[in-house]
Structure 1
């Protein structure tokens, strides 16, 4: 993430617009992959785009880096942005995220290997049986997934 660090050196903690991608990977049993982040929140694997990287490639990369799961084809689920998603980090950095959410039922390898840094646990969960402390954004994305016409992805 050298690009963001370089920007922060120039502008300090002032608000930025940051673009990221998250992926709801759905296994053959219809369960969704969630990662438990160090702060105890269950979320979708994802992260910020690197310079020159497509949102789709960033989503695939982040899922693999954070969980070891490989995915193929992605379908756009929704884009989340706006002042309600504003974040101020403990170090004072402020940002407005633009989160591009994808769904993928094209799971190439479902063997989970957590990185122990960004992910302290990862599992596939039934969409109706999410763990406690699941991110509200995950619930919004699952709602979009459930409402998608069958066979759309």
Structure 2
């Protein structure tokens, strides 16, 4: 049993604050890695376990969900607040604090969904991107694009 499951045994479905990680993984063709969970396409990621660094959790989650090993990560931003409140079908509630990263450092692995949490894993060109994004993912992509624009203006 993991940390979150142990907490749930103590507090039931009441809201928790949970720290998660996600990464925009960009391949050599400038495509973005997305995963499908249920009917929704999203940026891969998950929650940090006890004693784990955010970066190690991000690498672990990407590998578990997609089979891809990533290396260096650059922080995009931290996303939290009322807008990201989540109520799961089983009644569990939480407010996530999500550390979002970007990487082009794909080290190894063949893309393959875990088929437990994730049904599909796929790289998408910007022009063929899934239209339905969660508010969190929409905000992460927006911050990523804004950061790119700022970098280009500086450079």
Q: Same fold (TM over 0.5)?
A: yes
Q: Which residue of structure 1 lines up, in the alignment, with residue 111 of structure 2? A: 112
- Specify every segment of 5 or more residues in structure 1 that has no aligned partner in the other structure, as ranges: none
The Cα shift of 1:41 comes to 0.5
| 2:22 aligned with 1:22 | yes
Q: Is the 8 A contact 2:26 2:32 kept in 1?
A: yes
The Cα shift of 1:140 comes to 2.1
Q: TM-score, normalised by structure 2?
A: 0.90
Q: Secondary structure at the match of 1:19?
A: strand
Cα deviation 1:17-69 (Å, max 9, x = unaligned): 000000110001111100011x2100111000000001111110000000001
**Aligned mates of 1:75, 1:106 — CA distance in 2:** 10
Number of residue equivalences = 150
Q: Which residue of structure 2 lines up, in the alignment, with residue 33 of structure 1? A: 33
**Aligned mates of 1:76, 1:136 — CA distance in 2:** 19
Q: Secondary structure at the match of 2:114?
A: coil
Q: Is the 8 A contact 2:34 2:42 kept in 1?
A: yes
- How does 1:48-127 map onto structure 2 within 5 Å? 48-109=47-108, 111-127=110-126
The Cα shift of 1:93 comes to 1.0
**Aligned mates of 2:121, 2:134 — CA distance in 1:** 14
Q: Secondary structure at the match of 1:128?
A: helix
Answer 1 or 2: which has greater helix percent: 2
- Specify every segment of 5 or more residues in structure 2 that has no aligned partner in the other structure, as ranges: none
Q: What RMSD over aligned residues (CA atoms) do the two structures have, in Å?
A: 1.6
Q: TM-score, normalised by structure 1?
A: 0.91
